[in-house]
Every structure is written in C-alpha cells, then in structure tokens.
Amino acid sequence: MTEIAPARQKKLFNQVLLLALFTVFYNLIEGLISIYFGLKDETLTLFGFGADSFVETISAIGVTHMIYRIQRNPDSHKGSFEVTALKITGWCFYVLALILLVSAVYNVIEGHQPTSTLAGVIIALISILSMWLLVYLKIKLGKELNSDPVIADARCNLVCIYMSVILLVSSALWWLFKIPYIDAIGSLGLVYFSIQEGREAHQKAKGIECCSC
C-alpha cells in the first residue's frame, strides 16, 4: 500500500467525517419530509421510506463514531457505543418491516390507494442523485485512504439507492397509470431490504463483518 503523509491523511479523514455528518443530517431531513408527504398523500411506500431514513440516521451516527475512532486509532475495535447503535438499528429495521408488512396487507384488504404520489417521485429522484454522489465520494476517499471500513460503508449506502428506486418506480407507476395496489407492492420491497439491513446490523454487532448489498 502507498504511504500517505500524515497531513494528507488527516485532511482525507476530515472529509470522510464531514460526509458521515452530512449523511446523518440528510437522512433526518429526508425522513421528516417523506413522512409528512407520506401521511398527507396516504402513500405507504413514501411513509415507509421516511421511517427507513430515520433508522438510517441512527446507523449513520454509529458510522460517524466509527470514522472518528479510526481516525484517532486505526487499529482500534468497535466500542460499546457502536455495538449499541448497531443493535438498535437492527431492531428498528425489523419493527419497520413488520409495520410495513401489516400496513400493506391492510391496504390491500381495504382497497386503499394513495391520493397522490408526485411527492414520492420528486423525493426519490433527489435521493438517488444525492446518494449516488455520496457513495462515489466515500469510495474515492476510502480508496485513497486504503480504508476498508470507509469503502464498506460507502457500498452499504447503495441500499439507500435501491430503496429510492423502489419508491420512484411505485410512485411513478401510480402517478402515471394509477396501477392498483402498486403502492402496497412498493412497500413490500422496502420490507425486504429492511429485513436484510436488520440482519446485517445484528451480524456486525456480533463482529461479523458483512455487506448484504
């Protein structure tokens, strides 16, 4: 591996830390907006997407702590804070998956449909572009730092892009063609990824490094 000058390494880690903080605040704002319009437009997929953003906020806080820890001591291991954040994240994903599954079944039985999904289309497009740029920058910095944890975190952000694509497809199909139950089907896609992320968070809390994405 190429040695990095200490000053350059510090600068790169500061940039990674800023990206991690940006991820925290971005997910928080995205969650608030998505849940608001999800409730307003009665679209389950957008509501679930917003709830997922809040869970991702908890995960991003843990990642921010990890970056700070590695910057101070590259050879250190997960502390109690990171392990607790991973466990909370994992259980939150499981609870979210259960809520979305029950809600999707209820909406199908009741024949409930969204009043509008235009907000979902707009939010999904913004999210895809933002997350793609974030993943690109994190991988670029991670490679320059020769840091596997930074690169792994970047690749796990791809799940956010996958979820955004699900939101975009389900919202666009309803907005353009009013396809029945497409909103419920879209929420089931979020259920799948929530379960995957929940399992991954618990595995990481146990020290099993993985990235199902």
- The pLDDT of residue 207: 85
Residue 56 to residue 21: CA distance in whole angstroms: 12
Residue 5 to residue 210: CA distance in whole angstroms: 30
Q: Can you tell me whether residue 179 is helix, strand or coil? A: coil
Q: Can you tell me whether residue 88 is helix, strand or coil? A: helix
State mean pLDDT over 74-103: 94
pLDDT mean across residues, the chain? 94
| CATH number of this structure's domain 6-205, picked from the four choices 3.30.1460, 1.20.1510, 1.10.287, 1.10.8 | 1.20.1510
Residues 6+ positions from 168 with CB-CB distance below 8 Å: 120, 121, 124, 125, 128
Residue 168, token pair as written in the block: 């975009």
pLDDT digits (tens, 9 = 90+) for 134-176: 999 999 999 999 999 999 999 989 999 999 999 999 999 999 9
- The pLDDT of residue 211: 56
> How many helices and strands, by DSSP H and E, does the chain display?
7, 0
pLDDT digits (tens, 9 = 90+) for 33-43: 999 999 999 99
Residues of the chain above pLDDT 90, percent: 87
State mean pLDDT over 76-80: 87
Q: Can you tell me whether residue 169 is helix, strand or coil? A: helix
- The pLDDT of residue 3: 75
- The pLDDT of residue 1: 47
pLDDT digits (tens, 9 = 90+) for 17-28: 999 999 999 999
pLDDT of residue 190 exceeding 80:
yes
Residue 91 to residue 96: CA distance in whole angstroms: 9
pLDDT class of 2 with cuts at 50, 70, 90: low
- The pLDDT of residue 78: 86
